[in-house]
A = this chain, B = another copy of it.
Amino acid sequence: MNFKIWMNKKINKVEEYLKSVVKENENPQKLIYEAMNYSLLSGGKRLRPLLLLGAYELFQNNEDAAMPFACAMEMIHTYSLIHDDLPAMDNDDYRRGRLSNHKRFGEAAAILAGDGLLNKAFETGLEAALEHKINIESALKALAEIAGSSGSDGMIGGQVVDMFGHDKISSLEDLKYMYSLKTGAIIKSSVTAGALLGGADEKELRALESYAEKIGLAFQIEDDILDVTGTLEKLGKAAGSDAANDKITYLTFVSIEEAQSTVIKLTEEAIESLDAFGEKAAHLAELARYLTNRDH
């Protein structure tokens, strides 16, 4: 199947599933459903679900069985954006071209909506595991992988370094460590959780980890490049905001040309990691190219 068609089909399925997760109703707590859905259903690339589904499909083709786990990744990603945007954190008024959650619902509701989405990710994954469409041990391993990647030694840890340890980032290695936690960890677990759900063996898992680590870093470097070269339209936020905020980025340490060639190199290496899977991995390979070539 053509990559773009594959991708759009998957995105449609993901959107459909996400719409079914948080059911708005007239319970006294209905504000929380509204605030959760406001951010969860506001578009976005749905990258993490695509990675999970792409990895899963190397091994199995029962897409519906993997869908709850794929969407759990998006819930975790979305909650992290809501909390990152809070005044005490990055204090961003806009997200994906709309008011950020706390600007729309107030800080208290935004904190709770974030909590609710993190919690809902595990509710969704655990309920899916109990449906036995996936081997129960594999489902548990995938959920444990996801939980580890989003916690204090994963995404949350990365946000802490970004918020509080930024002035201690004095080398490219320090920066890459922060990136590997803040954005890399859940990109990686999207891929490895998909592989675990599909029943990958150790060797296959290692190959996919390598793929995921490389695209995770390439994605983040591309983000830093786009912040300099991009337009408001492409970014959904003002270009040059990193520089304006004196933010340490990949471009603090290397030239833009060097960063661009690193992105190309990482992307090619990521695709090479997929060699053993042959033609089956065509969508994951295209996904790597798509992710790191976002300005067209």
Whether A71 sits at the interface, judged by CB under 8 Å, is no
Residues of A in contact, count (CB < 8 Å)? 57
Whether A127 sits at the interface, judged by CB under 8 Å, is yes
Whether A109 sits at the interface, judged by CB under 8 Å, is yes
Do B163 and A108 touch (CB < 8 A)?
yes
**Assuming A111-B83, A152-B116, is B147 touching A31 (CB within 8 A)?**
no
Chain copies in the assembled complex = 2
Measured CB to CB, the closest approach of chain B to A258, in angstroms, equals 25
Do A143 and B156 touch (CB < 8 A)?
no
Stretch from A53-61, A173-181, A201-209, A234-242 forming part of the interface with B: A173-181
Whether A119 sits at the interface, judged by CB under 8 Å, is yes
Q: Among the listed B32, B106, B111, B137, which residue makes an inter-chain contact with A157, where contact means beta carbons less than 8 Å apart?
A: B32
**Assuming A28-B177, A152-B22, is B115 touching A89 (CB within 8 A)?**
no
Ranked nearest first, the 7 interchain pairs of A and B with the lowest CB-CB distance are A29-B157, A88-B107, A126-B144, A119-B151, A116-B152, A123-B147, A29-B160
A residues bordering B, Cβ < 8 Å? 22, 27-29, 31-33, 36, 79, 83, 86, 88-89, 106-109, 111-112, 114-116, 118-120, 122-123, 126-127, 129-130, 136-137, 140-141, 143-144, 147-148, 150-153, 156-161, 163-165, 168, 174, 177-178, 181
Show 9 A/B contacts (Cβ-Cβ < 8 Å), sorted by A: A28-B165, A109-B163, A109-B164, A115-B115, A118-B118, A119-B150, A126-B143, A129-B144, A130-B144
